[in-house]
Amino acid sequence: MLALQGDVREHFHALAECGAEAVNVRRESELAAVDALVLPGGESTAISKLLEVFGLLEPLRQRLREGMPAFGSCAGMILLASEVLDTRPDAQSLSGIDMTVRRNAFGRQVDSFEADLDFAGLDDGPVRAVFIRAPWVERAGDGVEVLARVPAGPAEGRIVAVRQGNVLATSFHPEVTGDLRVHRMFVESVLTPADR
């Protein structure tokens, strides 16, 4: 659990509920000790800065290159992108997923909203998604699976959940709703790595 800034506690609880042993990662030795990493929602530019300050940026890029499973929600999705639009010029990205993400994409008028999403691989009903100053995926690369899109409204069809190999990202915050299915999907992918 990357614990530099953001809604770390909510992810912690969700992971614990799924039976995963979650620990805080703030330094390189802690990163080296985990099997997988969750990047929380929060403020991507602040987390990016702190990754540099804590000397985690390159070690984290390296672990992702080596195939460490990861899950990012909202700011975490932004950090996992290979390209970010509408961010600060000095913000760093981790290139865990071949995608272009637009930050704060839903606009100022709609700071936050909720929607019920069809989520590929989760067949037992829609996922209630909470979006808070959320990004969307503007371009998903060839190897990227699209798992969910906005179902209706002005942003209809926009991509809000993706997976490449065992790196998962959502524009929204599954950690705040009590619906554990997305976290379970991630934990299961860590336990049974996809052959990709």
Q: So which residues are the catalytic ones?
A: 74, 173, 175
Give the DSSP letter of residue 155: T
Interface positions, 150-189, toward ligand GLN (CB under 6 A) = none
Asked if 138 touches ligand GLN (CB under 6 A), the answer is no
Give the DSSP letter of residue 25: B
Q: How far is CA 120 from CA 39, 126, 146, 191, in A?
A: 21, 10, 8, 19
Binding mask 33-52 for ligand GLN (x = CB under 6 A): --------xxxx--------
133 a known binding residue? Answer: yes
Least distance between ligand GLN and beta carbon 196 (Å): 27
The set of residues, in sequence order, having a beta carbon less than 8 Å from that of 141 and lying 6+ positions away, is 82, 97, 98, 99, 164
Among 64, 74, 99, 150, binds ligand GLN (CB under 6 A): 74
**Sign (positive/negative) of CA torsion 167, 171, 176, 182?**
negative
Structure tokens at 9: 């506690």
Least distance between ligand GLN and beta carbon 117 (Å): 16
43 a known binding residue? Answer: yes
Among 68, 132, 137, 155, binds ligand GLN (CB under 6 A): 132
Q: Which residues line the annotated binding site for L-glutamine?
A: 42-44, 103, 132-133
